[in-house]
Chains A and B, each alone.
Chain A
């Protein structure tokens, strides 16, 4: 039966991809290898949360201007590699489907994952296409700031390691709701908690899905819709049939592929610099292309300032991240939010003991940290060998930097190797997306099936078969919703959704988890007020922040451009063809957007930061504390000893392999 399902999934997937691969041939008949034109839109999720205004603009749908440059992926190399990855992961699914019989198997792989395996899976769950493509792109265009940006993503794991990993392993079972409802009234707490988990997962999932669609479109020429459907079917297939076991192995495979890709490219970059770090930094600082890029594009000096070292400037902060308060706010959301991400927390229930949970975080930290250090090499390497000008010609946001580097460095050895490396990196990006979205779907379905269905609707009375069935049906629905949202959000600006997911996790989930585990007085009212206020505050602040599209601002910018160009025209200069086009476009933008209002009817942002953490995290904590003090509960206080002893010692913990 399960085999049949798996076979159907396999067939559907191949069908979707085959259809997708054929579709673009019709319009481009006879052009041979489908050359992939990179649209000017930055692959949205690959653009990281703290993108400044100008990059943001690039992410809003720009009218399709003819592209000067394209990135060609050779389909004869790329498609077989994709098929191998799909085949390997699907055989993992068939294998794990046989092992998935109980709810514990489905949600936690029966607790049978080892610390090292879980460490790789955490890394695979966490490092999204944004880390891989977005950060290397940011480094290739803005140097030091991209590297600085990547640091917070690792430091976040100190919070996970020291504060949440082991207590969650000891006190929890399948979901965040299990920990929070321990000494509170389970029904309202589970319901509110499930809503918050689903909100975080949906934001993150939407960003990933839209990114997946754009990336596949960019790399393989598959139409957006079919790319989403293909990725969606695979993701649903992994989760529905294989549950946590399959998801874990997909994440492990992905982490392995990603590290291999990054390591191979780094070695190639290193070889070019004779394996000497000094030579490498010297190459960066003396590259005429980088100097010109920093001078003209980043600092916008029309003529070089005499004596100013533009190359060295690339290695100094401040070219990209210009709002320190926003950076600090993002840092807070990362440091506290990672530990509140349901798909990360859930990974700690898959290991048998607290020691294994500890080991898994440490393994994950070494993988993630090494990866970000390698990313620096890739980013700077791309700046040296592909040049910022070349990267921006393909994608304004720089998201294709790592891909182009692979093609260039491989191609320098032999053209086939260039194609092979590029195809391999495309496949890595594909596996990356699959691993992350599967983890999210699993976390969201666990919240709905385990917290809402089994514990709220059925009062915890559901046999194993029913629980597994509920989990599978929910995953199917969540996955289907993901596909629909992904298709619907194609033209939306989704770059802020990753920031939003971290903001909700850090302001809603984390305060109540920490207070539940460590504060005697904490109770039902505290959990609910903390979750509700933290979640609403983060969403509300993002809605009125510069992340949203403000038509009036677009109109004002267009107005400025019109004035500038018309002045030039009035002074007797003849405008170049490009400038005339710009003028027309600016006029059209102005007419379309003047007097327009944002989604919430605002002319300009009310809250000036893109990352709400600095305000919403304290709000979440305060709301949790006040709510709890306003409605004290003796029972919750009396039960503190139990959860405290359990989370510290693991005494009486839900048996990992419980039958």
Chain B
């Protein structure tokens, strides 16, 4: 497969690529750090703040249960939000860049 030769350095300096790469880096690492912090609050909270986890909120359902359940929805939320931003923004920038290089 003789692929077309690209000047990778030039693409890397292309303003469109710089914009894409900057946006992606901020978004991806930002949300990754958020999700990790949110997740580690669960084992840390369960171990060091058991009083908080025991507070009953909805009948017998306590804060700890709701917090653990919220982890699922937060993860799904981040995934859906990422898909939305990526489909709308990142893919568009990538397409524009690829078209420009043709």
Docked-complex contact A641 and B94, CB < 8 angstroms: no
Bound: A335/B32 CA distance, A: 10
Contact call A158/B75, Cβ cutoff below 8 A: yes
B71 and A327 contact, CB distance less than 8 A: no
Q: Tell whether A155 pairs with B71 under 8 Å between CB atoms, given A324-B44, A328-B40.
A: yes
Q: Is A648 a contact partner of B20 (Cβ separation < 8 A)?
A: yes
Which of the segments A41-49, A193-201, A275-283, A561-569 contacts the partner chain? A275-283
- Docked complex Cα distance between A321 and B69 (Å): 18
Q: Of B3, B17, B76, which is within 8 A of A648 by CB?
A: B17
Query: Hey, which chain A residues are within 8 Å of B68, CB to CB?
Result: 144, 147-148, 151
Chain A residues lying within 8 Å of B88, measured Cβ to Cβ, are: none
Question: Which residues of B5-26 are within 8 A (CB) of A?
Answer: 6, 8-9, 11-12, 17, 20-21, 24
Report yes or no: A324 in contact with B48, Cβ–Cβ below 8 A.
yes
Report Cα–Cα, A410/B69, bound state, in Å: 28
Interface size grouping (class) on chain A: 35 or more
Q: Does B12 lie within 8 Å of A327, measured CB to CB?
A: no
Selected interface stretch from A31-39, A309-317, A415-423, A465-473: A309-317
Contacts of A355 in B (CB 8 A): 87, 91
Q: Assuming the A-B contacts A157-B75, A658-B1, are A324 and B94 also in contact, with contact meaning beta carbons closer than 8 angstroms in the complex?
A: no
Identify whether the interface residues of B are mostly helix, strand, loop, or mixed: helix
Residues on B with beta carbons closer than 8 Å to the beta carbon of A155: 35-36, 39, 71, 75
Cβ-closest chain B residue relative to A144: B64
Q: Does A83 contact B (CB under 8 A)?
A: no
With beta carbons under 8 angstroms apart, the residue of A152, A282, A321 that contacts B39 is A152
Instruction: Please encode chain B, from 65 to 91, with 1 for each CB lying within 8 Å of some chain A CB and 0 for all others.
Output: 100110110011011101100110001
Q: Which residues of A contact B35 (CB under 8 A)?
A: 155, 158
CB-based contact B44/A648 at 8 Å: no
Residue-by-residue, is B43-66 near A (CB-CB < 8 Å gives 1, otherwise 0)?
110111010011010111110110
Q: Is A362 an interface residue (CB 8 A)?
A: yes
Contact at A324–B80, with CB atoms within 8 Å?
Answer: no
A91 to chain B: which residues have CB within 8 Å?
A: none
The answer to whether B39 touches A331, judged by C-beta atoms less than 8 angstroms apart, is: yes
CA distance A161 to B80 in the complex (A): 11
Most interface-central of A285, A642, A645, A658 (chain B CB within 10 A): A645
Contact A365 B75 (CB under 8 A): yes
Given A373-B69, A648-B20, A648-B21, CB of A162 within 8 Å of CB of B46: no
Is B20 within 8 A of A362, CB to CB?
no
CA A331 – CA B14 in complex, angstroms? 39
| B→A interface (CB under 8 Å) | 1, 3-4, 6, 8-9, 11-12, 17, 20-21, 24, 28-29, 31-32, 35-36, 39-40, 42-44, 46-48, 50, 53-54, 56, 58-62, 64-65, 68-69, 71-72, 75-76, 78-80, 82-83, 86-87, 91, 94, 97-98, 101
A327 CB contact (under 8 Å) in B32, B43, B101: B43
Partner of B40, one of A316, A318, A331, A645: A331
Cα-based distance from A641 to B7 in the complex (angstroms): 9
In the complex, identify which listed stretch (A120-128, A623-631, A649-657) lies at the interface while the others stay far away: A649-657
Residue in chain B with minimal CB distance to A655: B1
Closest to A282 in B: B60
Q: Are B54 and A316 in contact, CB atoms less than 8 angstroms apart?
A: yes
Contact, CB under 8 Å: A161 / B79: yes
Query: Could you pull out 18 A-B pairs where Cβ atoms are within 8 angstroms?
Result: A148-B68, A154-B75, A158-B35, A162-B28, A162-B82, A278-B60, A315-B60, A316-B50, A327-B46, A355-B87, A362-B80, A365-B75, A369-B76, A645-B12, A645-B17, A649-B94, A649-B97, A655-B1
Complex CA–CA separation, A28 to B20 (angstroms): 69
CB under 8 Å from chain B, chain A span 611-640: 639
CA distance A569 to B15 in the complex (A): 85
Q: Please give, as numbers and ranges, the residues of chain B lying within 8 Å of A145 by CB-CB distance.
A: 46
Most buried by B among A158, A373, A642: A158
Asked if A480 is at the interface of the complex by the 8 Å CB criterion, the answer is no
Q: With A and B bound together, what is the CA distance between A366 and B69 in angstroms? A: 14
- Does residue A359 face the partner (Cβ distance < 8 Å to B)? yes
CA distance A270 to B1 in the complex (A): 57
Interface 1/0s, chain A 316-357, versus B by CB < 8 A? 111001001001100100010000000000000000000100
Interface centre among B53, B68, B79, B97 (most CB of A within 10 A): B79
Closest Cβ–Cβ distance, residue A352 to chain B (whole Å): 14
Cα–Cα, bound, A338→B55 (Å): 33
- CB-based contact A649/B44 at 8 Å: no
CB of A652, distance to nearest CB on chain B (Å) = 5
The docked-state distance in angstroms from the alpha carbon of A642 to that of B17 is 12
When distances are taken between beta carbons in the complex, the residues of chain A under 8 Å from B6 are 642, 645, 651-652
Complex interface: chain B residues within 8 A of A151 (CB) = 39, 42, 68, 71-72
6 closest A-B pairs by CB? A324-B47, A317-B46, A642-B8, A281-B60, A641-B12, A327-B43
In the bound assembly, the distance between CA atoms of A316 and B60 in angstroms comes to 11
Q: Given the complex, which residues of A lie within 8 Å of B1, measured CB to CB? A: 655, 658
Chain B neighbourhood of A362, CB < 8 A: 79-80, 83
